[in-house]
Amino acid sequence: MAHGKRMALLVGLLIGALICYGVGMHLGALSLLVVGALLECGFWLRLFKSPS
């Protein structure tokens, strides 16, 4: 995966997680908090994965 695409994916995952956390906290929606946690896990896993 090209460096630019990888960075765009990482930024997208992080922004998606932050949005889900924010909306989930505001509405008290557990499902959004879980989705936010999954997106954050995806961010950290992709961040430390060695580029091919």
- The C-alpha torsion from 4 through 6 and 7 to 13, rounded to 10°, is 140
**Is residue 49 a contact partner of residue 10, using CB atoms and an 8 Å limit?**
no
User: pTM surpassing 0.85?
Assistant: no
Of the candidates 32, 14, 13, the one whose C-alpha atom is nearest the C-alpha of residue 22 is 32
Residue 24 confidence (pLDDT) above 80? yes
Interatomic CA distance for residues 33 and 18, integer angstroms = 10
Mean pLDDT value across the chain? 87
> 26 falls in which pLDDT band (50, 70, 90)?
confident
CA angle 25, 27, 22 (to 5 degrees): 35
